[in-house]
Each structure stands twice: as C-alpha cells, then as structure tokens.
A and B are shown apart, each in its own frame.
Chain A
C-alpha cells in the first residue's frame, strides 16, 4: 500500500519539521526536540508494520543494545565533551547508512544499485571523517592539520576512484559488483581519512557542520536505495540543516568550503615569523612585568612623598591617581562585555566567568556576552557552556547585535579568545584571517585579556590589541585562576 505509506511518511516528516521549527525558541525547544523524537518513534513502528518485519526478533535485540549504549552515553557525557560526542554520534549514523547501502547493493535495478553504492560512499566518508574529527576534539589525535606526502593529490584521487566505482556499479553484476562494493567502501574510507586529517582545530566548526550534513545525505540516499519515503525526507532535512550551518560557519570565517576540503587549510604563513613573534611576545611580556614593577615603585615613592608632604604641610594631600589595574577598571565599569573563546572551554572557566559577571552585576554594572559565530569548536559552542553555568541566554549576544556597542562600553573582558577579535582581520591583507568578520573589541576603551598566553591564535596572526598603548590589561595564565583573582580583587 504505497499510497498510505507515503501519506504517513509525509505526515511524520511534517511533524519532524514542526519539531525543528519549535527549536527556534528557547521556551519551546525542549518540546520541539521531544516532538521530533516522537515522530521518529512513530516512523520506526510504521516501518516495522509496512515492511512486514514485526516478527524478526533480532531487530528488537539490536535496538535495545543501541538504545542502552546511547542513553548511557548521553546521560554520562560532560558538557565540555559535547563537540566530540556530537561528532561520534554523527559518525555512527553515517556508518549505519553505509551498512544499509551495503545490504541493498544486490537489489533489483540500476537506481537501487547506484543509490546503495552511493550510500556506502557517503556513509563511510561520514563515519571515518567523524571519527577523526572526534579524535581531534578529544585530543587523542593531533589538533594541527596533518599533511602527508601528495596529500591534495591523494585526496582527489580517492574521491575520483570512489565515484568511479559507484558509477561502474550501475552496470556491474556478480563478481564485478562485489569488486565495485569493496572499491567504493575502501576508497570512500580513505577519502574520509585524508580529508579530515588535514583539518585543523579552528576549522572544526565547519567540518562538523559538513559531516552533519553528510550523515543526513547518506541516510536519504540509503532511503532511496530501500524505497523508504520517511528516511528520504528526514535525511534531506538533516542534509539541509548541516549545509546551512556550514554556510553560516564559512561566512563567519570568510572562508570558502572548497579551500578547507582541498587543502587551503589555515596554517601559519611561514614558521619564521612565528618564532619572531614569540620572541616579540616574550619581550612584550618582560616589558609588561617591568612596567608593573616600575608602577609599583612609583606608587611606593608617591606614598612616601605623600607622607613627607603631609608632614610638611600638616594637611592631607589629594589622593594620588591609583595605578590602573584590571580590577580597578572593572570596579569602576558600569557596562562590561565579556568575550569568551575556545580558551574558556579548555580552562573550563565558564563558572568563574559567571561568578565575575555576578560580582559586577551586584555592583550595578550591566554585563553582556558577545559570541562570535565560530568561537569554540562547533556552532553555538560558547552558548552551551555558558548555559551550563546558568548564564541567562538573553545576555548572550550575536556578533552583529553587539558589535556597535563595543565603543560605548566601559570595559571588555576577553576569556581565551584571540582570532575572533583580532583587528588585523580588517586590514592585514594576505593573512589567513583577512576579511573574517571580527568582534570590535579594539574599539573598547579598556580591554582585559584573560588568555593563557600571548601566542598568536590558531591563524598565527599577531593581535595588535595586546600591544596597544593604553587600555589593555594582560592577565595571563589559567583563566580559572585569573578570574578568581580578579573577582577577589574587585573592591
């Protein structure tokens, strides 16, 4: 009864879409997610009935095993591990689609063979790519792009071979078909490995979004192979969502998707300037220390002069202007913008960030958070971490919504962010971040930088904010400790 099946599938697909559109508002998002899950459950039951496989007991055993493992993982995983968890789940979905494709390769007709092989290809790329991405995010694999000999050429070769086997499979039969299946499987896996290994840390948000899209496409193609409308529809929706996120991420980094896939991966332009930069940074840090020491001496001298003056005039002198410190700036500030970055995630400092904000707010200051679209390692990464620390989501502002306010604010606190606020992106032509939209932190009168060190960020471009004449306070070291110190120092 294909008509009824199509009708029910369409209805369930609409339910899924309704669930997604409810996810556009925080208040309805929880219900939206549950609605999508419910639609999925109905889809599974409907499939059992329509395919006439209700009596197959192995299905239930398998579902039970997967459900237990998945639920356990979902309940146990820490928020900080979310990027790699999402990547891992994503890969499993791709792997499942590849297996469905594998099982469908012996079906009737060219369309079935073609889609089945294509599902194997896209599924394996998703599986291998996601596992590598998860490994990088979990720090068991190098964060830096790994580039092997003739990397770009091999990547291209594997892609062409994969497509070649898929197309050849349309016309193949018997042993020839088996060869095509094995070839597709092998070269799609190799392509996934090669392309994901050369993606570096900061390109992760784009890669994860893309893999997300691919896992949906893999599902949709597998759905075509077995003729399941529901699977095709939902796979298409997921594919579109991932594609949209990929687009947003690319725009936020001013990068072309192709350059990330085919080897234009961001890397420091040349090794030498980095070393020079490090020397420069070291010198700046040393200077900073000496300035601090000199300031302390000056304050000490002023105090002694004051004492002498007081003795001479027997009248109290006007209070000398205190040496500006980050804590003093924050004590005075009435309007503060906090800029979090991946460093906050690394230091797990989101709770201390919240404490700092609470302290400032208790003193009557207005505190907002400026979130760059690619801050962190996946779309919306910072929002999740701050939500975990109970920060009200209405205080989280997107880049475009807050970028004009930096010049009117009293102080900006940067927590482990670098490239997303580097003004060099506006004018340093030829650097990897040139043209990338950045937060206008440099327009703020006072900038407090709570970064681990002053090393250039992932893009390897020096940040001129660190070396500007005044209004910058470098509070280096572990962000957690720095923040706790700042909180205690704010009078």
Chain B
C-alpha cells in the first residue's frame, strides 16, 4: 500500500504542474482541451479495473462485481467517446489551408 502522504503530494504536484502547462493553451482550442481533459477524467477506469478485479478474485458478492463492471463501462464510454470527439474536433482545426 502506498503511503497516503505520497498520494496527496502527487495530487498537489500534478495539479500545479498541470495548471501551468494548460495555461499555454489558447482559447481557440479550449473546447478540444476540455473534451480531451474530459476523456482523461475517464482515467478512473483504472480504479474501476482494480476494484472489480479485486472483488472478482476475492469472490465477493454479485453486487460488487456488477457495480465494478458498470463503473468500467461508464469510464470506458468516457475514455473512448472523449478521445474520439476530441480527435474529430482537432482534425477540423488542422485542415490544410487553401
């Protein structure tokens, strides 16, 4: 188990670093940025996988497994849908100039 303090430190560090990098994105690309971030927020799929896997291997009740499976499905929709629409939008911006 990773120490809670490390986790909190990682959270703070990534927030601060992320803040300063994201500041360089111009408002022109704010919608794709937000939609890309949206896709990234589906990273919780990682958590869903761990929780479901642990529940499955430990032979926990059906409820845990269904809840876990549902979490994975929701997060997967978020990830694939999010990256998909972001890709579509960005390609529109990057059309070759005539």
* B2 closest partner in A (C-beta): A227
Min CB gap B27→A, angstroms: 5
Q: What sequence of 0s and 1s flags, for each residue 322-357 of chain A, a beta carbon within 8 Å of any chain B beta carbon?
A: 000000000000000000000000000000000000
How many CB-defined contacts (below 8 Å) exist between A and B?
386
Q: Which of B17, B41, B49, B76 contacts A17 (CB 8 A)?
A: B17
Name A78-134 residues within 8 Å CB distance of B.
79, 82, 85-86, 89-90, 92-97, 99-100, 102-104, 111
B10: A residues at CB distance < 8 A? 229, 232-233, 236
Majority secondary structure, A binding face: helix
Name A163-191 residues within 8 Å CB distance of B.
none
Min CB gap B26→A, angstroms: 7
> A436 in the interface, Cβ–Cβ < 8 Å?
no
Name B1-41 residues within 8 Å CB distance of A.
1-2, 4, 6-8, 10-19, 21-41
* A102 closest partner in B (C-beta): B67
- In contact, A65 and B73 (Cβ under 8 angstroms): yes
In the complex, A53 Cα to B29 Cα: how many Å?
38
Question: Size class of A's contact patch?
Answer: 35 or more
Min CB gap B92→A, angstroms: 4
Name A1-58 residues within 8 Å CB distance of B.
2, 5-6, 13, 16-17, 20-21, 23-24, 26-27, 29-30, 33-34, 36-37, 40, 43-44, 47-48, 51-53, 55-56, 58
> A212 in the interface, Cβ–Cβ < 8 Å?
yes
- In contact, A235 and B44 (Cβ under 8 angstroms): yes
> A288 in the interface, Cβ–Cβ < 8 Å?
no
B27: A residues at CB distance < 8 A? 248, 371, 373, 379-380, 383, 398
In the complex, A205 Cα to B19 Cα: how many Å?
19
Name B32-84 residues within 8 Å CB distance of A.
32-57, 64-65, 67-84
> A66 in the interface, Cβ–Cβ < 8 Å?
yes
Min CB gap A212→B, angstroms: 6
> A423 in the interface, Cβ–Cβ < 8 Å?
no
- In contact, B81 and A224 (Cβ under 8 angstroms): no
Min CB gap B8→A, angstroms: 7
